[in-house]
Amino acid sequence: MKALTWHGKGDMRCESVPDPKIEHPRDAIIKVTACAICGSDLHIYDGVIPGMEKGDVLGHETMGEVVEVGSENKKLKVGDRVVVPFTIACGECFFCKKGHFSGCERTNPDHAKAEKLWGHSPAGLFGYSHLLGGYAGGQAEYLRVPFADIGPIKVPDSLTDDQVLFLSDIFPTGYMAADFCNIQPGDTIAIWGCGPVGQFAIRSAFLLGAGRVLAIDTVPERLALARAAGAQTLDFKAEDIYERIQELTRGRGADACIDAVGTEPETTASFDSIVDRVKVATFMGTDRPHVLRQAIHCCRNFGTVSIVGVYGGFLDKIPMGSAINRGLTFRMAQTPVQHYLPLLLERIEKGEIDPSFVITHRAPLADGPALYKTFRDKKDGCVKVVLKP
């Protein structure tokens, strides 16, 4: 089959790889009808995620048709149309039983490596390095889905691929980001990053009762898409974000701040961001948490900082003094997608949101390598790429 494979920083290829096979009786094989490129894939593309090997198949936003099921899989049948969560979960362990699917303790065969770095291992993820299971991803013609009786959700024929594909990741992620904020009616939620995840966070914040969303980015078409959802936009290259949020909240700060940017922010010449760049370039640091620092700074006393932008290792100069003295709550996670799926599918079916609004590019798989670059560089008005193998 054809798949998108990683060969090093900035080097994606569309090439032939062996077809996936059922390896465990609970597996299923999916013929992929649509898959997408995530902002998290860009961290791999840019070479900042450890544990990648040449030839690894990327992709964790995938849906398709079931073409084969293992003997113990009682949930799926050949022909079912499903969306596959990016987090692989067993459904039975201590964490899965609590709904913390992205903390599943059984699905990362490489858990020892993750434990060394992070103390404990999270769940395995599709197409996301040999720190997180080394599973082949879904930017491919076919995908093996482990624990396929737990993850994939069947979707009704009345909804198109474009409407349901993002249940695999970015819709639940944006929703979780807002959910973490414990939004009270009328709250002001500040959101850094108007990429696909930020866009879903904006709309979810409104669905959950926010009175006002302040959306921060600099890319004109992304800011326009945020405004279309009713957000007030701030351009971090044109204005001082802290000063603006102070002004807009009468000096109190935002009720909650969402970091939907993560470890690779664009930065103006602030001192902290220059130090970050030097540290990362000289292997003295792993991440560039400029946005997280700013989000903490801009959050009101006893507010919440919700982090969904991905970080990898050890973050320097996080203003913990500000956080503890002012009673901030931190929430963060790789999304336990399975936990949010039924509720969000229902919201789509009821017409409360149509996730296809975010798609700007549709293309065959072979165009994947070029579109990684277009998406990373935010060229050609690119907000979200969907590939149809």
Q: Give contact residues for Zn ion (rule: CB under 5 A).
A: 38, 40, 89-90, 93, 96, 104, 106, 169
Interior CA angle at 207 toward 204 and 210, to 5°?
90
Distance between CA 115 and CA 110 in Å, rounded? 9
Among 12, 35, 38, 164, binds ligand NAD (CB under 6 A): 38
* Contact call for residue 336 and ligand NAD (CB under 6 A): no
Residue with tokens 């792993």: 286
| Nearest to ligand NAD of 3, 42 (CB atom) | 42
Distance between CA 212 and CA 344 in Å, rounded? 22
**Residues 37, 385 contacting (CB under 8 angstroms):** yes
Task: Compute CA distances 70 → 1, 24, 88, 107, 158, whole Å.
Answer: 20, 7, 16, 17, 28
CB atoms within 10 A of CB 272: 16
Q: Which one of ligand NAD, Zn ion, none interacts with residue 93, CB within 5 to 8 A by kind?
A: Zn ion
Interior CA angle at 301 toward 295 and 307, to 5°?
30
Q: Which one of Zn ion, ligand NAD, none interacts with residue 100, CB within 5 to 8 A by kind?
A: none
Residue with tokens 């994939």: 152
CB of 246 to ligand NAD, least distance (A): 17
Contacts to ligand NAD from residues 201-240, by CB under 6 A: 216-219, 222, 236
CB of 206 to Zn ion, least distance (A): 22
* Contact call for residue 106 and ligand NAD (CB under 6 A): no
**Residues 85, 341 contacting (CB under 8 angstroms):** yes
Among 262, 303, 368, 389, binds ligand NAD (CB under 6 A): 262
CB of 149 to ligand NAD, least distance (A): 22
CB of 116 to ligand NAD, least distance (A): 22
Angle between helices 271-281 and 290-298 (to 10 degrees): 150
Contacts to ligand NAD from residues 274-333, by CB under 6 A: 290-291, 308-310
What number of chain residues touch ligand NAD (CB under 6 A)? 34
Q: Per DSSP, what are the bridge partners of residue 217?
A: 235
Query: What are the residues binding ligand NAD (CB under 6 A)?
Result: 38-40, 42-43, 169-170, 173, 192-198, 216-219, 222, 236, 260-262, 265-267, 290-291, 308-310, 334-335
